[in-house]
Amino acid sequence: MYLYLPVALTSINILIPVGLGLAVGLLSGLFGVGGGFLLTPLLIMFGIPSTVAAATDSNQIVAASTSGTYAHWKVGNVDFKMGLYLLVGGFVGGIIGVQAIKLLHAMGNADFVIKITYILMLGIVGVYMFIESLQSMRKKKNNTEEANEEKDSAIGRFLKSLPLQTRFEKSGITHSVFVPIVLGAFVGVLAAIMGVGGGFLMVPIMVYMLRMPMHVVVGTSLFQILFTCIEVTFLQAYTNHSVDFILAVLLLLGSTVGAQIGAAFGKKLKAEQLKILLATIVLAVTIKIVFEITLTPSLLLSQVGGH
Amino acid sequence: MQNNFKLRIADCGLAVVTAFVILTTFCIARPASAMLTAKANHDHITIDFFYHGSTVSVRGEADPNTDLIIKITSPEGHQVLKQKGKVAGMLWMNVGQLKFENTPNFYELYSTKKLEDILSREEQDKYVIGYPALERHVEISPLANEQEKTRWFDEFVKFKENSNVYSASSGKITTTHTDNGRQQYFILTEWPYQAQPGDYLVTVYAVKDNKVVEQATSNVKVEQIGVVKSLAGLAKDAPAIYGFLSIGVALGAGFGVSMVFKKGGGSH
């Protein structure tokens, strides 16, 4: 059955957005990522204008991350305190990132910088997570967090020497308040430059730099994504008129259910298994983008807006 | 003298006969070429929730000795598109934007025979019939040279054809000759769902000796109705309310599904 989308100005078989929503929601509940880096290109592939695809994706992530956050909160896997500090940082970073994008556009090489940043970030994160998880699994160490503690180095000592140290009970860690704020800002800058939510960057940062337990990372990341996407959805609807309500409803029909299934399924997986799965997806997306920019595209013109 | 007078009478007679012949020819020829009619069967397409494109048929009568061209277009405007190019000799990136002036968003062309066989280049340009004429009509900027224009116009057509809003073909119009010596034509076109709401003009050209001898027009209006129209209007006219509505529904759906899972499965 087909439905007409009033803002995208196109018609779509309802099984496509519901199915895509289900798949991305599953990833969201499982790994704590919004899934925009997967869903937006897929929607464009199915004929949705790029601006509408990106904006509507944010809208459906609001639903999926609400569903996912709730599911993780029920089992005590959301560190609200950490989430709030990261949000403050992310907000500041977003403002800096938007200015950086304006500067890049003025310099005329925005797309080059965005694409290269995207590939480098995805590639580094994917490779690092993959190797680290593989090593952990081989060593058959059940507690990765303990292993990380052992590797405490100069960076760890530096972080501990910073002022305003505070305890994050849910995650069982102590950090200066500046650490999550600065790291949140770093992700915010990159996310704004790349035009994505930044979940795939935030998750490894929480795991490897903040040393949070993987399952709390997923819940906390979703909590943070929820607020980021509420802001983005409103701004997109208000300034660009590019949120398609009907498409968002179709997507969230799948993604809210998918997020619940993902959260339930995630509990059955070990931290290393979750990380290696996420690393594989991130690497697959990196390879896809590398192919995209090296193979001659079939169309050399595209609509203005989006990637 | 008498002979001269007879000659003058003969001259006058000849002139009268000539005038009569010209007048008669004119009067007969006029109705013959004025026979061209055009009617689109589906001139008001409404877009509701379940809209997935439509069909539009164009039919009418024409002089039997003419070829026919049917052009369906939206009003001309300007379009800005992202342009991909190679960076560092190997990476395909967006390298800028191209502005296409005097271009319709929708352009479909049908002809009884190949365009170049029935219409001169001058006439094609005059009525903007066919891709080559459209290329000469369009202004593309910024461009380095004329070769660039052909290249990017071809890319423009490829982009539009990929979205099903541009097409050009010959031989799809069916014609039949009636008993009273007229020619009836008919074409059934698939109306793509990608064609945006708006007013479209159907122009039928009767062509003879490489020239357009007559044209007739009909209109097609595409309009959103009901909830589709209300939502599109709300998104444009009340974006803040629309934004809050979208977020509210997403939050509600997220919590709603969580409640269902909590009650139903007890998985958490």
Q: Concatenated DSSP letters for B164-184?
A: TSEEEEES--EEEE-TTS-EE
pLDDT band at B193 (very low <50, low <70, confident <90, very high): very high
Span of A147-156, A217-226, A294-303, B236-245 with lowest mean pLDDT: A147-156
For chain A, percent of residues with pLDDT exceeding 70: 93
**CA distances (Å), origin A257, targets A27, A59, A62, A71, B260:** 11, 16, 13, 11, 10
Residues 68-87 of B with CB under 8 A from A: 80-85, 87
Distance from CA of A9 to the nearest CA of B (A): 7
The mean pLDDT of chain A is: 84
pLDDT of residue A152: 57
Element holding B91 (H helix, E strand) = strand B91-104
- Contact yes or no for A302 and B82 at CB 8 A: yes
Query: Do A32 and A219 contact (CB within 8 A), yes or no?
Result: yes
Query: Do A272 and A133 contact (CB within 8 A), yes or no?
Result: yes
Per the rule left: phi > 0, alpha: psi between -120 and 50, beta: everything else, A303 is beta
pLDDT of residue B267: 38
pLDDT of residue A195: 66
pLDDT of residue B263: 55
Model pTM above 0.90: no
Task: Using an 8 Å CB-CB cutoff, list chain A residues near B244.
Answer: 234
Element holding A180 (H helix, E strand) = helix A178-194
Distance from CA of B233 to the nearest CA of A (A): 9
Instruction: Classify strands B67-73 and B198-208 as parallel, antiparallel or unpaired.
Output: antiparallel
Task: Using an 8 Å CB-CB cutoff, list chain A residues near B106.
Answer: none
pLDDT band at B221 (very low <50, low <70, confident <90, very high): very high
pLDDT band at B25 (very low <50, low <70, confident <90, very high): very low
- Contact yes or no for A302 and B48 at CB 8 A: no
Distance from CA of A117 to the nearest CA of B (A): 13
A49-93 pLDDT per residue, tens: 888 888 898 898 889 889 889 988 888 889 999 999 999 998 888
B225, B226, B228, B230 alpha-carbon torsion, rounded to 10°: 110
- Contact yes or no for A301 and B193 at CB 8 A: no
| Strand arrangement, sheet containing B139-141 | A301-303, B76-87, B91-104, B139-141
Euclidean distance between CA atoms B191 and A54, whole angstroms: 28
Spatial CA neighbour of A118 closest among A207, A229, A30, A40 = A40
Tokens of A246: 């009907």
**CA distances (Å), origin A30, targets A151, A255, B172:** 27, 12, 54
Nearest CA in chain B to A25: B254
Tokens of A154: 């100069």
pLDDT of residue B197: 92
Among partner residues A11, A253, A300, which is closest to B193 by beta-carbon distance? Answer: A11
Euclidean distance between CA atoms A130 and A204, whole angstroms: 11
pLDDT of residue A29: 83
Euclidean distance between CA atoms A200 and B129, whole angstroms: 51
Task: Using an 8 Å CB-CB cutoff, list chain A residues near B195.
Answer: none
Span of A185-189, A235-239, A291-295, B17-21 with lowest mean pLDDT: B17-21
| Strand arrangement, sheet containing B107-111 | B44-47, B211-224, B198-208, B67-73, B107-111, B166-170
pLDDT band at A143 (very low <50, low <70, confident <90, very high): low
For chain B, percent of residues with pLDDT exceeding 90: 63
Distance from CA of A134 to the nearest CA of B (A): 29
A109-137 pLDDT per residue, tens: 677 777 788 888 888 888 988 888 888 88
Query: Do B192 and B53 contact (CB within 8 A), yes or no?
Result: yes
Q: Would you list the domain boundaries of chain A?
A: 2-294
Span of A153-162, A172-181, A238-247, B95-104 with lowest mean pLDDT: A153-162
Higher pLDDT pick, A153 / A22: A22
pLDDT of residue B27: 35
pLDDT of residue A71: 87
- Contact yes or no for A233 and B197 at CB 8 A: no
pLDDT of residue B10: 46
Distance from CA of A3 to the nearest CA of B (A): 5
Among partner residues A3, A70, A238, which is closest to B49 by beta-carbon distance? Answer: A3
**B185 strand-pairing partners:** B60, B175
